[in-house]
Amino acid sequence: MAYKKILVAIDRSSQAEGVFEHALDLAEKEQSTLMLVHCLWETQELMTPYIGLGTIADVDLYGSLRKVQQENLQKHVEETKGWLRSYAQQANAQGIAAEVSCQLADPSLGICELAQKWGADLIVLGRRGLGGLKEIVLGSVSNYVVHHAPCSVLVVQGVATPNIELTTTATPVTTDTK
């Protein structure tokens, strides 16, 4: 099957480069277009007023906090788009067309929805390799995408952190009892 539209979901983890490289190699072989996407979720949560008893001052404080939050969110979106554009420029330098998208959404849902809207043939994303309780608590974007994507999914396995073996070398101690 030819993949003409490849959606590449990357985050700011150490795996991002590897995921991008896999997608770039595949796009070069398939003569595909890339859509580089990053989802901002933590900043999307609604702020609620925590102070006061419902006075006009609380409304003003909430409005001020909300304005600062929106300004910070816009700044974060622009920084993220710039970061994604650097990847797009690398793809363009190799003759591969690439677009960028910064989604304000839960990554699991945002990736699947964008793939549907954009008409992706393939989604390429990484996985952190969490298991057990960590995966239950933190969730698994890759697992959700594999089970809900409207197209094929390529999961790039993260590089495992090498186990560091603690070894001790003992120097023999001799006692001279002369």
pLDDT at 166: 38
Q: How far apart are CA 125 and CA 112, in angstroms?
A: 12
Calpha distance 13→100 (Å, rounded): 18
What Å distances lie between residue 137 and 129, 130, 133, CA to CA?
Answer: 14, 10, 6
Could you tell me which residues come within 8 angstroms of residue 21 by beta carbon, excluding any fewer than 6 positions away?
none
3-class secondary-structure state, position 11: coil
Residue 60, pLDDT score: 67
The two structure tokens encoding residue 162: 């090498």
pLDDT, one tens digit for every residue, the chain (178 residues):
789 999 999 998 888 999 999 999 999 999 999 999 999 886 444 444 444 455 555 556 777 887 888 888 889 899 999 999 999 999 999 999 999 999 999 999 999 999 999 999 999 999 865 555 544 444 588 889 999 999 999 999 875 444 434 333 343 444 444 4
Report the pLDDT value the prediction gives residue 171, as an integer from 0 to 100: 38
Give me the domains of the chain, ranges plus CATH numbers. 5-157 (3.40.50.620)
- Nearest to residue 32, comparing CAs of 118, 98, 116? 98
Q: What is the pLDDT of residue 22?
A: 95
Task: Look at residue 13 in the predicted model and tell me its pLDDT.
Answer: 86
Please report the pLDDT score of residue 50 as a whole number. Answer: 45
Q: How far apart are CA 84 and CA 65, in angstroms?
A: 28
**What's residue 56's pLDDT?**
55
